[in-house]
Amino acid sequence: MAYLVVFAPLIASIIAGLFQKQIGDRAAQIITTGATISAALASVYLLIDVAYGGNARTIDIVSWMAVGQFEVNWAIRLDTLSAVMLVVITSVSSLVHVYSWGYMADDPHRARFFSYLSLFTFAMLALVTADNFIQMFFGWEGVGLASYLLIGFYYKKESANAAAIKAFVTNRVGDFGFALGIMATFAVFGTVKFDEVFAQIPEMSGEILTVFGMNFQALELIAFLLFIGAMGKSAQFFLHVWLPDAMEGPTPVSALIHAATMVTAGVFLVCRCFPIYEVAPDTSAFITFIGAVTALFAATVGLAQNDIKRVIAYSTCSQLGYMFFAAGLGLYSAAMFHLFTHAFFKALLFLGAGSVIHGLHHEQDMRNMGGIYKLLPATWILMIIGTLALTGVGLPIVLGGLGFAGFYSKDMIIEEAFAMGTEGVTFGMFAFWIGITAAALTSFYSWRLIFMTFHGKFRGKEETLKHAHESPPVMLVPLVLLAIGALFAGGVFKSDFVAKGAQSFWGESLPAGAYSDYKYGDYGSGDYTSGDSYGEEDHADESHSEEAGYGDEAHGDDHSERHPTWVLVLPVVVSAGGFILAWYFYMANPHLPGRIAATNGPLLRFLQNKWYFDEIYDFIFVRGTRALGDLFWKVGDERIIDGGGPNGIAATVMAGARRLARMQSGFVYHYAFVMLIGVVVLALVLIAGAGV
């Protein structure tokens, strides 16, 4: 079954990509879609078998590399963490495949597109089932390659090529850090296999690694370098610039990259390596800070974007920030819970945006939309469901909390950040208030998207409105299935992911979390404690744990026993405030945003230009690199190398040779005369030497 999950998409990708001319587009679509759906069904079986049946295992397939002490096998690691990712990846990918039947119906290169989708899926599956860093890096780079192919699918568009290159190059920066982290891991532990590395952590906690004459705490350095890789792949602050431009690919690609696969790889990496981060408090604090800043940055930029896909892209970036600051605080299972629920409602929003674009003949600017809810009623309702899930609408003090998927996962992260902050965890309270602020901004720009797209008056071309239409069933059915997940995934899986059942569900793959009904350090085999956040020294006092609401009576199903009421209510209140403000701006006073835009104030320009990151990077890196290249080319190569070589000494020798060549006239008397001159000169020299 595990072989089917991992390798079926790869085989389908090869068949569709290499044999399209022989089998045709329709057969290519059937093969790739069928393989992915089969993998999804098998993934559900594996999750049940592993998480509920207790059958975690590692399947060794083949010896991959063996050089001295460096040995790597290709294996399939099946524990709850990887099984959850298998379900997320294959389910979203399956729905994207089905959706693409309608969205890409008129594209002449459908077979190539579906081949790329399946290749992308295989790379992610290889990544999450790896039992060592090298295999994970293989999947990591495979995802980068597939994303390059998908983002640049419309390769005849200059903007698509530029976006693909930008994504590829930016990720290489992060991947370089990841590669260095793997090298450092092998240098310290002598292995790259996860289990063997994690088993040695207690004895390596004080290890010092010397690099270029500087001493570093080995585990802190490894944790930091691995996180650099995660920053690139998951588009965190500083390395986020590729993510919005990835919208140049077809909309199904946006859903696949941004919802559940590529951008979540960094979160998965940190959670997979949680034993390392538990003993690396400084790096964990750095992750918390970067995650919180990313959540705020992306939310602010999302306020001023007009491309419907870019708004959702910045929303993804912001939600990834929540996941990372949760992981940085040691809330690993909460981070995975939000990753899980986010996959449903974000894929729903992206594919819903694709339905709008499809219905409006590829119009993406929200300023040219409006008043189309009657023409696209199903898409309108489904996108509202996704928006309600994203903004975390719910009732926090009713039945222990009742709401949409995002309410359970995002609000839990915010609440637990408050708890960490009250206990003095670095950046805990900072992350809490950033999370609250980002929640308010998320609500505003999400409802802004709904109001600008579906309500008010239509602002585009009349011809576009005349031909506006609802999407076909093949596109709507995946949206309905994702909407079901956006409605119920949080409530149904809360107990297993973060509440009463978390200990048995996650097993040893992740800590159950302080928010479950288990005390700190009571998870897994007990071999690891959670460092700064969950360390034995910080939380050994049981009375302190009970005071904070994490004792035996603090059950995962009742938030009110663990947090002040205002902490539970505040996220919902600020989300409601964001909705009211968006309604005031875009429904009650629809001319107000236009007047604000007409002023073109500095804050608006700052947000529209995405904090000027592209301009800064262009000045420092692009122009700087070009100037450095010009220096090596025009000065180093042309003036020094060519000037001293081909254009210098060699040119002089050649010029002299040409002059000498002119003396070779072919006449005997010329040669005799030269010989006579030579004899005379030689005689004069000899006479002068003899002193005669």
Contact 386, 486 (CB under 8 A): yes
424: left (phi over 0), alpha (psi -120 to 50) or beta: left
Query: Residue 205: its pLDDT value, please?
Result: 82
Retrieve residue 380's tokens. Answer: 């309108």
Report H helices in 203-331: 218-233, 242-245, 251-255, 265-272, 274-278, 281-302, 308-328
Query: Residue 283: its pLDDT value, please?
Result: 95
Retrieve residue 138's tokens. Answer: 């293989």
- Whole-angstrom distance, CA of residue 306 vs CA of residue 588: 20
Contact 171, 232 (CB under 8 A): yes
- Whole-angstrom distance, CA of residue 556 vs CA of residue 147: 38
CA distances from 295 to 236, 442, 568 (A): 9, 10, 20
Contacts of 687 (CB under 8 A, 6+ apart): none
Contacts of 488 (CB under 8 A, 6+ apart): 405
Task: Indicate the SS3 state at residue 425.
Answer: coil
Task: Indicate the SS3 state at residue 209.
Answer: strand
Q: What dihedral angle (degrees, nearest 10) is formed by the CA atoms of 43, 46, 51, 57?
A: -130
* Residues forming a β-bridge with 70: 67
Give, in degrees to the nearest 5, the angle at Cα 279 between 275 and 284.
95
Contact 351, 476 (CB under 8 A): no
Retrieve residue 483's tokens. Answer: 């909407």
In the 3-class helix/strand/coil scheme, how is 338-405 assigned residue by residue?
A: HHHHHHHHHHHHHHHHHHHHHHCCCCCEHHHCCCCCCCCHHHHHHHHHHHHHHCCCEECCCCCCEECH
Task: Indicate the SS3 state at residue 362.
Answer: coil
- Whole-angstrom distance, CA of residue 2 vs CA of residue 406: 30
Query: Residue 222: its pLDDT value, please?
Result: 95
Query: Cβ atoms within 10 A of the Cβ of 59, count?
Result: 15
Retrieve residue 260's tokens. Answer: 């559940």
Task: Indicate the SS3 state at residue 524.
Answer: coil
Can you list the residues of the chain whose pLDDT is less than 70? 259-260, 399-400, 517-562, 691-692
- Whole-angstrom distance, CA of residue 577 vs CA of residue 479: 28
Retrieve residue 462's tokens. Answer: 């009349």
Query: Residue 84: its pLDDT value, please?
Result: 95
Residue 166, amino acid: K
Contact 443, 70 (CB under 8 A): no
* Residues forming a β-bridge with 215: 210
Query: Residue 400: its pLDDT value, please?
Result: 64
